[in-house]
């Protein structure tokens, strides 16, 4: 038997390598960008898709879970949807291609494919570390997206919806966004399958908040039951910047949402809220790596999960407090309602603390619906199934209500209720 020098590739790995070979001729990018794409794919090929042996992928063995990559198919004709919040500016990306006519008041907008073509997107095309499979896949294959620049001091009144709709095939998008000092905006990043057939989606949002910017960023993932969604948020917070990040997962078969956040300016504050609605046979993983890198920063994270059917959920939350980051205040909670014996949920809330004058804590719970709560409602004449539905709804709606903005709350509650009605 011959010793193999390179490990054998799985079907999905082979499909990725072949797809790259087939697509590289038409992927946008100047010489340097193409060179970087080559290198990222080469790294992916050498390392392979991550397995459970890699700590950050412990609960999502991508090598095993990602069995196949659907073939790339020519773009289908897709019509934009109306935004989930009335009055929002819609920036649509249909089947991975950004609408060249899109505009949003007060925002300097450019097409990501143009930034690839002129090489200005090069700096962002990196893997964050040696285990960053999403960075490698997206960097190799990304075709388009929008780059947003909000000027200093600008206050964008209405939400901006980045509407990524797609059919079957391979979709790789990217949304770099920079928010100038003291700017204010609400961005809704919405991913949704609108046709039958499996899709393989990767999407990275690079968000930079300059000093004093106050931004709400909502990710609404509603992929199809056969879709793979690999999402990544890279965020950097400057002095006194405030980022409210909401992540709602309500679809997809294999989902990984990575949140890589660096709090880099004193007085900065991160508020992360997550709602994971898991049904069918989905495997959904939300992984947070949060760095408190300077003194006097705050963060709170609350993740609520509901698990039905044969769904499996994962939350990994790592909070890292750097050696000089004194007076850090970080609190994280992850609560799960496990409603099915065939489902499962794994939590790994991690604290890595190198400074002493900090207050950090995390809590995690996993349980069924509280029988006392159920009894309370049933004793008042609410039938059991309805009582359960009410309690589940209340469990996640509580998180959404923190958004305060009525229209936003209503829109997200609508998404949640519709999902629960379908699954519960």
Partner 1 sequence: MPAVQETIDQVRGIDIDQYKYGFETVIEVDKAPKGLSEDIVRFISAKKNEPEWMLEWRLDAYKRWLTMEEPTWARVEYPKIDFNDIYYYAAPKNVTGPSSLEEVDPELLKVYEKLGIPLKEQEILAGVEKPRVAVDAVFDSVSVVTTFKKELQKAGVIFMSISEAIREHPELIKQYLGSVVPTTDNYYATLNAAVFTDGSFVFVPKGVRCPMELSTYFRINEKNTGQFERTLIIAEEGAYVSYLEGCTAPQRDENQLHAAVVELVALDDAEIKYSTVQNWYPGDAQGKGGIYNFVTKRGDCRGARSKISWTQVETGSAITWKYPSCILRGDDSRGEFYSIAVSNGHQQIDSGTKMIHLGKNTSSRIISKGISAGVSQNTYRGQVSVNRRADNARNFTNCDSLLIGDKCGAHTVPYIDVKNASAQIEHEATTSKVSDDQKFYAMQRGIPEEEAVALIVNGFVKDVIQQLPMEFAVEAQKLISISLEGSVG
Enter the tokens of residue 276. 């994971």
Task: Identify residues 185-224 at the interface with partner 1 (CB under 8 A).
Answer: none
Distance in angstroms (rounded) separating the CA atoms of residues 354 and 320 = 8
Q: Does 421 interact with partner 1 (rule: CB under 8 A)?
A: no
CB of 58 to partner 1, least distance (A): 8
CB of 332 to partner 1, least distance (A): 9
Task: Identify residues 304-343 at the interface with partner 1 (CB under 8 A).
Answer: 323-324, 326, 336, 338-343
Out of 127, 311, 347, 399, point to the residue binding partner 1 (CB under 8 A): 347
Q: Does 269 interact with partner 1 (rule: CB under 8 A)?
A: no
Distance in angstroms (rounded) separating the CA atoms of residues 173 and 93 = 8
Distances (CA, A) of 421 to 8, 161, 224, 389: 44, 25, 17, 8
Out of 184, 348, 407, 423, point to the residue binding partner 1 (CB under 8 A): 348
> What x-and-dash track marks residues 115-154 binding partner 1 by CB under 8 A?
----------------------------------------
Q: Does 353 interact with partner 1 (rule: CB under 8 A)?
A: yes
3-state helix, strand, coil in the chain (%, to 5): 25, 40, 35
Q: Does 389 interact with partner 1 (rule: CB under 8 A)?
A: no
CB of 284 to partner 1, least distance (A): 15
Distance in angstroms (rounded) separating the CA atoms of residues 343 and 36 = 40
Enter the tokens of residue 231. 């999402």
Residue among 338 and 400 whose Cβ is closer to partner 1: 338
What is the phi-psi region of residue 13: left when phi exceeds 0, alpha when psi lies from -120 to 50, beta otherwise? alpha
Residue among 284 and 336 whose Cβ is closer to partner 1: 336
Residue among 170 and 336 whose Cβ is closer to partner 1: 336
CB of 320 to partner 1, least distance (A): 9
Distances (CA, A) of 87 to 19, 78, 330: 39, 21, 35
> Which residue, among 52, 50, 66, 60, has the nearest Cα to 15 in the 3D structure?
66
Residue among 40 and 321 whose Cβ is closer to partner 1: 321
CB of 61 to partner 1, least distance (A): 14
CB of 418 to partner 1, least distance (A): 24
Out of 357, 372, 380, 406, point to the residue binding partner 1 (CB under 8 A): 357
- CB distance 16 to 46 below 8 Å: no
- CB distance 56 to 317 below 8 Å: no
The packing angle between helices 31-47 and 11-23, to 10°, is 170
Please report where in the chains the tokens 């100047």 appear, as a residue.
30
Residue among 124 and 349 whose Cβ is closer to partner 1: 349
Residue 56 DSSP symbol: G
Residue among 80 and 280 whose Cβ is closer to partner 1: 280
What is the phi-psi region of residue 48: left when phi exceeds 0, alpha when psi lies from -120 to 50, beta otherwise? left
CA 193 to chain centre: 15
Q: Does 359 interact with partner 1 (rule: CB under 8 A)?
A: yes
Task: Identify residues 19-78 at the interface with partner 1 (CB under 8 A).
Answer: 55, 58-59
Out of 344, 387, 396, 416, point to the residue binding partner 1 (CB under 8 A): 344
Q: Does 354 interact with partner 1 (rule: CB under 8 A)?
A: yes
CB of 55 to partner 1, least distance (A): 7
> Contact residues for partner 1 (CB under 8 A)?
55, 58-59, 323-324, 326, 336, 338-368
């Amino acid at each position: 038997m011959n010793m193999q020098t390179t490990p054998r590739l799985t079907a999905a790995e082979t499909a990725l390598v072949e797809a790259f070979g087939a697509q590289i001729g038409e992927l946008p990018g100047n010489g340097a960008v193409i060179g970087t794409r080559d290198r990222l794919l080469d790294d992916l090929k050498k390392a392979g898709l991550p397995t459970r042996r890699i700590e950050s992928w412990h609960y999502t063995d991508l090598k095993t879970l990602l069995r196949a990559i659907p073939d790339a198919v020519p773009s289908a004709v897709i019509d934009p949807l109306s935004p989930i919040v009335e009055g929002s500016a819609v920036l649509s990306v249909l089947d991975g291609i950004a609408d060249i006519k899109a505009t949003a008041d007060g925002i300097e907008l450019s097409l990501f494919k143009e930034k690839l073509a002129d090489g200005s997107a090069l700096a962002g095309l990196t893997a964050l570390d040696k285990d960053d499979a999403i960075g490698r896949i997206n960097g190799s294959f990304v075709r388009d997206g929008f780059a947003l620049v909000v000027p200093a001091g600008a206050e964008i009144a209405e939400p901006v919806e980045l509407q990524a709709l797609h059919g079957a095939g391979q979709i790789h998008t990217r949304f770099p966004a920079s928010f100038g000092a003291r700017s204010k905006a609400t961005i809704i990043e919405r991913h949704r399958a609108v046709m039958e057939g499996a899709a393989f989606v990767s999407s990275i949002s690079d968000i930079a908040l300059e000093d004093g910017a106050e931004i709400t960023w909502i990710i609404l993932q509603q992929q199809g039951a056969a879709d793979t969604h690999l999402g990544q948020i890279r965020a950097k917070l400057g002095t006194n910047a405030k980022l409210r990040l909401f992540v709602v997962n309500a679809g997809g078969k294999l989902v990984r949402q990575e949140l890589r956040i660096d709090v880099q300016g004193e007085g900065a504050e991160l508020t992360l809220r997550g709602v994971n609605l898991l049904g069918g046979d989905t495997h959904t993983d939300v992984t947070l790596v949060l760095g408190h890198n300077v003194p006097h920063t705050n963060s709170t994270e609350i993740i609520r999960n509901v698990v039905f059917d044969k769904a499996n959920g994962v939350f990994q939350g790592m909070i890292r407090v750097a050696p000089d980051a004194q007076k850090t205040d970080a609190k994280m909670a992850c609560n799960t309602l496990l409603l099915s014996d065939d489902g499962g949920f794994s939590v790994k809330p991690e604290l890595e603390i190198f400074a002493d004058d900090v207050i950090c804590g995390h809590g995690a719970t996993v349980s069924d619906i509280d029988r006392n709560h159920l009894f309370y409602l049933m004793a008042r004449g609410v039938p059991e199934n309805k009582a359960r539905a009410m309690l589940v709804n209340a469990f996640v709606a509580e998180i959404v209500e923190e958004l305060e903005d009525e229209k936003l709350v209503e829109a997200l509650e609508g998404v949640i209720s519709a999902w629960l009605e379908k699954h519960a």
